[in-house]
Amino acid sequence: MNNKIKRSIAILCTAAAFCAPLSTGYVFTGVSVNPIVASAASDVHSGTHYGYSLDNPSEGYTLYFGIPDLRGTTCQVIGCTTYKDSVNIYVPETYTNGNYQYQVDKVWDDAFRDQTRLNSVSLPRYITEIGNSAFMGCTNLKYFSGSAINGNGDMLLTSIGNHAFRNCENAYFGGSTFRNVKNVGRMAFRGCSGLEEIYMPNLETMSKMSFAECYNLKKVDLSESSITSIPENAFEYSSSDRNTECIIKLPSTVQNIGNYAFHNVNGIRKIDVSNATSIGEHAFEDCHSLRTVFTGNNLYWIGTRAFYGCDPMRYFACKNDYVWIGSEALGYDHMRNYTGKKSNFILWGSSNNSNVKGYAASQQMTYKNTSDAASYASTRYTDYEWYKANTGISWGVFRADGYPYYHFENKHEPYANGYNNTKFHGICAGMAAVSALTSSGYLSVSEYAPGYNKLRDVHTNTGNPIPYSVKSYATTVWANTLVEIGRAFDYQTYNYVNSQYVFDREALLYAENITYGADAAVLTIMPADSAGHAVVCFGMEYKNDASDKNDPCWNGWDARLLIYDVDNDFVNGKAHDKADYVYVNLSDGSWYSALISKHGYSMNNTKLALTHSYDRMVNASVYGMTTDQFFAAIRNN
């Protein structure tokens, strides 16, 4: 026997001697030089089948481990065999081999690829890397989690390889599993239809199609990450249901949005790209629910058809007048076999000699100057202000003889929601909601109040100035939703600083965009010790654009929210008054409004909240309806 053969036998015998069974329920077996032969025709193999094995007969699987250095401290999962259906795999934190213990720190390339029998996989927290195609094609995998074995803190996973979870179409991923992930490979989660939320606060890089075709995606929170670019096709075809909102939160570090990055993500309703310098070709094409885009001063490139087919989008505001705008990038609907230029689309800019105005002229679209936006919004909104204020004589909370009206009647079912024959509450919220919804086009004034086209015309000249037919279940529903049933806000003041809750940046960006054409919002005043009050926010005005910018009311403030208080009568052509406006310091989010003391509240401990989403102004699920069914019922009654 030659020396080479002798050495090989010695190594194998030594390695086998290390492998002793543990008392954990698992059976560890020794080294096999050749791939393991299937014990039955039904066995499913993946990855590499030589190395150190861990058998779990009761659960129906065998895991294979690679040890790069027998005298080291780590090992990797390199393969798997399953021999029963609906397998639940628990990867141990450590692999013990004789007197040596190895920490499991990686799932190798292809280790579980096409293991269609997997039902769940739990990885230890010390796994730092999941390799290429590691779980690709595990179509029946339902639960994937990290740190499940000892529950000791977040998983340490930092890197996810190319195709790692591709087509794991039924998998649910544990909430903190990806908290420390820094790098996500190409097509890593492509086709993961069960993926609903992404939270990766430490993400640094992602690749092409990383999260494409995740059809049920509802929330992406990268706001705390340091990623600088959203690659091509990154989220393409994710969030396919336009009736379910998909919330996308990007960090301030993002500068580039790649070609097709969010193409056909139907659930997006608004997106903040205010720090982006370029938006690629087709980046948001066919996002059929996208209405509002926050842009910034540094945007210099909007690629061809970047926002083509964003059907609800009525305007676009460019902070950089010299941004390059590609062909059909803005102002076009996408209809089958037809490209439709929007007839009422508005482009906002701040210069009369700019690329923005040039694009508008070439496309025969309306161009407006941002310095005129507040005046435009103020004039436009008067059609949606009630002629009579929220008072007893207007709405019949009390009759002239002192007895209360009861607005919850049998004909209001199911909308009365158990409030029949009880005193009406929250009329301010109902009036504000109807005002905001009619101004945004979700409900026409004539649908709410037959025979009328403007809210300011809805009145009579008799003792009860609001026609009884208008004091209907519609206002009843919205009042109860916002006040009695509960609140679901888009934004609210937070971070109690110097005895005051302050606005965050995105809330103010949205208020600004209302001025340009975004949906009006109900602003709810929430004092700590009373029920509060609801008004309407119909925009924001910067101090430098205000005609009264030298007025003392501006001292210490940079901008103001334009407010319509439903407690005001429609006089002299409008019901809103600058005395009710909310003045804001943009650097720290602090604010002041005389509206607070007007209603007997204190600035201390008072929160403000903005609700602009039409499906948050109604709680249709209380009535067993979708939001669209709810509005259809309102229109039909």
Q: Are 408 and 547 contained in the same domain?
A: no
| CA-closest candidate to residue 123, choices 83, 85, 72, 176 | 176
Beta strands of 482-636 (E only): which ranges?
491-492, 494-497, 500-502, 521-527, 533-542, 559-564, 582-584, 591-592, 606-611
Q: Are 338 and 218 contained in the same domain?
A: yes
| CA-closest candidate to residue 133, choices 61, 78, 64 | 78
Q: Are 224 and 344 contained in the same domain?
A: yes
Q: Where does the pLDDT of residue 9 fall: very low under 50, low under 70, confident under 90, or very high at 90 and above?
A: very low
Q: Are 230 and 343 contained in the same domain?
A: yes
Q: Where does the pLDDT of residue 71 fall: very low under 50, low under 70, confident under 90, or very high at 90 and above?
A: confident
Query: Which of 364, 391, 416 delimits the end of a domain?
Result: 364
Each residue of 479-512: pLDDT tens digit? 555 544 445 688 888 877 667 889 999 999 999 9
Q: Where does the pLDDT of residue 51 fall: very low under 50, low under 70, confident under 90, or very high at 90 and above?
A: confident
Query: Which of 305, 334, 364 delimits the end of a domain?
Result: 364
Question: What's the rounded Cα separation, in Å, for the pair 66 and 525?
Answer: 61
| Mean predicted confidence (pLDDT) in 533-540 | 94
pLDDT for res 354: 87
Q: Where does the pLDDT of residue 339 fall: very low under 50, low under 70, confident under 90, or very high at 90 and above?
A: low
Checking if the pLDDT of 270 tops 80, the result is yes
Domain count, the chain: 3
Query: Which of 295, 330, 364 delimits the end of a domain?
Result: 364
Is residue 220 within a helix (H) or strand (E), and if so which, with residue range?
strand 219-221
User: Is the residue at 105 inside a domain?
Assistant: no
Query: Across 283-297, 380-394, 434-448, 525-539, which has the greatest mean pLDDT?
Result: 283-297
Q: Where does the pLDDT of residue 145 fall: very low under 50, low under 70, confident under 90, or very high at 90 and above?
A: confident
Q: Where does the pLDDT of residue 478 fall: very low under 50, low under 70, confident under 90, or very high at 90 and above?
A: low
| Mean predicted confidence (pLDDT) in 605-629 | 81
Q: Are 345 and 470 contained in the same domain?
A: no
Question: What's the rounded Cα separation, in Å, for the pair 371 and 613?
Answer: 26
Whole-number average pLDDT of the chain: 84
* DSSP SS3 for 446: helix
User: Is the residue at 547 inside a domain?
Assistant: yes
Q: Are 356 and 277 contained in the same domain?
A: yes
Share of residues in the chain with pLDDT > 70 (%):
80
Identify whether the C-beta of residue 490 lies closer than 8 Å to the C-beta of residue 616: yes
Question: What's the rounded Cα separation, in Å, for the pair 457 and 286?
Answer: 38
Report residue 557 as tokens. 């403030």
| CA-closest candidate to residue 508, choices 496, 494, 491 | 491
The angle at the Cα of 144, spanning 143 to 150, to the nearest 5 degrees, equals 110
User: Is the residue at 110 inside a domain?
Assistant: no
CB atoms within 10 A of CB 487: 18
User: Is the residue at 47 inside a domain?
Assistant: no
Peptide bond just before 414 cis, omega within 30 deg: yes
Question: What's the rounded Cα separation, in Å, for the pair 53 and 203?
Answer: 34
CB atoms within 10 A of CB 238: 30
Report residue 332 as tokens. 């076009």
User: Is the residue at 45 inside a domain?
Assistant: no
| Mean predicted confidence (pLDDT) in 198-222 | 96
Question: What's the rounded Cα separation, in Å, for the pair 337 and 158?
Answer: 45
Identify whether the C-beta of residue 186 lies closer than 8 Å to the C-beta of residue 161: no
Q: Where does the pLDDT of residue 263 fall: very low under 50, low under 70, confident under 90, or very high at 90 and above?
A: very high
Checking if the pLDDT of 240 tops 90, the result is no
| CA-closest candidate to residue 319, choices 290, 288, 293 | 293
pLDDT for res 422: 53
| Mean predicted confidence (pLDDT) in 60-83 | 94
Higher per-residue confidence, 27 vs 224: 224
Q: Are 622 and 610 contained in the same domain?
A: no
Environment class of residue 296 by beta-carbon count within 10 Å: exposed (0-12), middle (13-18) or buried (19+)? Answer: middle
- Helical packing angle, 505-516 and 373-381, nearest 10°: 70
Checking if the pLDDT of 38 tops 60, the result is no
Q: Are 212 and 348 contained in the same domain?
A: yes
pLDDT for res 175: 65
Identify whether the C-beta of residue 52 lies closer than 8 Å to the C-beta of residue 68: no
Buried b (16+ CB within 10 A) or exposed e, 68-87: eeeeeebbbbbbbbbbeeeb
Q: Are 610 and 628 contained in the same domain?
A: no
Q: Are 403 and 552 contained in the same domain?
A: no
Report residue 272 as tokens. 């903040």
- Contacts from 307-314 at CB under 8 Å and sequence distance 24+? 307/283, 308/282, 308/332, 308/334, 309/285, 309/333, 309/334, 310/284, 310/285, 310/286, 312/288, 313/342, 313/345, 314/342, 314/344, 314/345, 314/346, 314/517
Using alpha carbons, list the distances in angstroms from residue 544 to 257, 370, 550: 31, 11, 9
Higher per-residue confidence, 388 vs 157: 157
User: Is the residue at 480 inside a domain?
Assistant: yes
Beta strands of 438-493 (E only): which ranges?
491-492
pLDDT for res 634: 72
pLDDT for res 19: 37
User: Is the residue at 539 inside a domain?
Assistant: yes
Q: What are the backbone angles phi and psi of residue 615, rounded to the nearest 5°?
A: -85, 0
Q: Are 226 and 210 contained in the same domain?
A: yes
| CA-closest candidate to residue 315, choices 259, 261, 262, 380 | 380
* Boundaries of domain holding 452: 382-486+618-636
Question: What's the rounded Cα separation, in Å, for the pair 5 and 123?
Answer: 39
The lowest-confidence range among 23-37, 457-471, 589-603 is 23-37
Checking if the pLDDT of 3 tops 70, the result is no
Q: Are 442 and 589 contained in the same domain?
A: no
User: Is the residue at 524 inside a domain?
Assistant: yes
Checking if the pLDDT of 305 tops 50, the result is yes
Q: Phi/psi class of residue 225: alpha, beta or left (left: φ > 0; alpha: ψ in -120 to 50)?
A: beta
The lowest-confidence range among 107-121, 520-534, 551-565 is 520-534
Identify whether the C-beta of residue 303 lies closer than 8 Å to the C-beta of residue 326: yes
pTM reported for the whole predicted model: 0.86
Beta-carbon-side half-sphere exposure of residue 247 (alpha carbons within 13 Å): 12
| Mean predicted confidence (pLDDT) in 592-598 | 93
Question: What's the rounded Cα separation, in Å, for the pair 431 and 483?
Answer: 12
Identify whether the C-beta of residue 229 lies closer than 8 Å to the C-beta of residue 207: no
Report residue 565 as tokens. 């208080």
Amino acid found at 128? T
Each residue of 154-188: pLDDT tens digit? 789 999 999 999 999 999 987 678 999 999 999 99
Q: Where does the pLDDT of residue 98 fall: very low under 50, low under 70, confident under 90, or very high at 90 and above?
A: confident
